[in-house]
Amino acid sequence: MYKGIYVAMTGAVLRSRELDVVSNNLANVNTVGFKKSTFASRLYPIMEGIQERQAVVYDNARAMATFTGYKIDTMQGAIKNTGNPLDLALSGEGFFGVEDGKGQRFFTRNGSFTLNREGFLVNMAGNYVLDRNNQRIQIEGTEISISPDGNIYVDNNLLTQIKVVKVNNLEHVADSLFTGQEAPDATTEVLQGSLEMSNVNPIREMVGIITALKQYESAQKVIQSFDDLAKRVSADIARV
Amino acid sequence: MIRSLFTAATGMHAQQMNVDVISHNLANVNTVGFKRGRADFQDLLYQTIKAPGAPSGEGIQTPSGIQIGLGVKPVAVQKLFTQGDFINTGNELDMVIEGQGFFQVTRPDGTTAYTRSGAFKLDSTGRIVNSDGYPLEPAITIPADTTQITIGFDGRVTVLQAGGTTPVEIGTIEIARFINPAGLQAIGKNLFLSTDASGDPIVGQPGTEGRGLINQKFLEMSNVNVVEELANLIIAQRAFELNTKAVQASDEMLQTSAGMKR
């Protein structure tokens, strides 16, 4: 009946999705190595393109907002000094490589590591941290020092170099892990005794909440207007 | 729609737990041998609405998909075994371990517990015990006529008895090291138990196999850094507040939807 009511509806649905994304960012405002998600919407593509074509299709076109600009923002988070020798932060674009017990590999920026009972370097969920040859790292010794280029020295002997790679086509997996295609990286520095905090900016997220909420309300007003219109048609115009 | 409500709730829950851990650290700022804890968080599951790499047109793939995260979860409260500050007490039975390792004490049920708190005392029979009366392991009994107790870096205990001039060796304090001390289970009273995660204790004389050295007449204070804990407390409280805003916003959105149909 009224095309517009559906257009407004798509807008409202998207704004609630936006609030979902913002809520997830805020929930992780204190999660080590978390990378926030950003969100953008745009018009449905049928309204774009060649003018003549638009004119032809316009009668049937249904403009609406779609969910397009979802992206993981890999901006650097703040570095916090902890003094714990197995806390590693990355400064730059790289990611640590980890693998689970079945050998499936992931990437992470959460460098809160520890040793397991066999002396393997693992993250808090027990996934093994990998070296540059994709081998698990076993540390036997007491004095562990890690240089900015990722070389691990145990009691002053070079053990191996920790894996730090760039990752393309990043995808969130959960548990602070990502998947994607790895690419070599030579510029990222490993900082021992530090952790990288979440890169969520609370101000930006609060503004996100406000815009999502207000636009949701606007969409609601539009829907109500269509409701009013429909009511007029059925109740007023028809009155004889 | 409701998703954001629960997502924000996970955030509030996580920050609440963070405050719990920080409060525990602050409460123990003056506890001998206390090791501070740290709550570690990870992001929860992601709901994939559009998979990355899905075709958006002929020969074109979307470079990134749409994934909506469902919040945060606590993954570990890690004990940080960094060295605490040493204070000189002058007391003969106060000891610190300089480096890695734990004193071993025998619990009433016969099992061994591990502690960094070296504030030992003597019981009525002359055994060296901790503040709760749990004897040091291996047990060392100080003779009744002892005038002076000396504990060496390597854990050897020698005493000078009344009337004597040559020190007599009466035993050696052994300490235990763990590959993964963060995996130890804290049971209160400054004690830890070994677990599957910590690995088995590597027991022996201080100063060997990576174990630390014993220093007599010193105590190791808590490794809690008050300034850092307070900064963490501020962050945790504000993060909690931010998440309540997301809950409120979700609530308002629901209200708006309910108001749509008059």
Asked if A24 lies within 8 A of B70 by C-beta distance, the reply is yes
Check CB contact of B226 with chain A, cutoff 8 Å: no
Evaluate if residue B187 carries a pLDDT over 70: yes
Whether the CB of B179 is below 8 Å from some CB of chain A: the reply is yes
Q: What are the tens digits of pLDDT across the range B172-181?
A: 999 999 988 8
The whole-angstrom distance between residue A60's C-alpha and the CA centroid of its chain comes to 36
> Structure tokens of A174?
């959960």
Of the candidates B38, B196, B242, the beta carbon closest to that of A29 is on B242
**Three-class SS state of A179:** strand
Which chain B residues are within 8 Å of A116, Cβ to Cβ?
Answer: 179-180, 183, 197, 199
Mean pLDDT of B232-255: 91
pTM of the model: 0.80
- Whether the predicted pLDDT of B162 surpasses 80: yes
Q: Residue type for A42, please?
A: R
Is A70 within 8 Å of B76 when comparing Cβ atoms? no
Give mean pLDDT, residues B244-251: 91
Tell whether the torsion through CA atoms of B199, B204, B210 and B212 is positive or negative. positive
> What tokens does A105 get?
């590999």
Does B115 score more than 60 pLDDT? yes
Q: Which pair of structure tokens corresponds to residue A10?
A: 């798509």
What percent of chain A is predicted at pLDDT more than 70?
87
Structure token pair of residue A22: 């913002």
Residue B18 has pLDDT above 90, yes or no: yes
B63 and A175: CB-CB below 8 Å?
no
Q: How far is A219 from chain B (nearest CA, A)?
A: 10
Closest approach of B4 to chain A, Cα-based (Å): 4
pLDDT for res A40: 74
ipTM: 0.74
Half-sphere exposure of B23 (CA within 13 A, CB side): 8
Q: Which residues of chain A have pLDDT under 70?
A: 1, 42-69, 238-240
Which residues on chain B are in Cβ contact (under 8 Å) with A12? Answer: 257
Inter-residue contact A111 to A33 (CB < 8 Å): yes
Inter-chain residue contact B245 with A31, CB threshold 8 Å: no
Query: Count of A–B CB contacts within 8 Å?
Result: 187
Provide, as residue numbers in chain A, all residues whose Cβ is less than 8 Å from the Cβ of B70: 24
Reported confidence tier of residue B23, pLDDT bands at 50, 70, 90: very high
> Is B224 in contact with B147 (CB distance < 8 Å)?
no
pLDDT in tens, B30-49: 999 999 999 989 888 888 87
SS3 content of chain B, % helix, strand, coil (to 5): 25, 35, 40
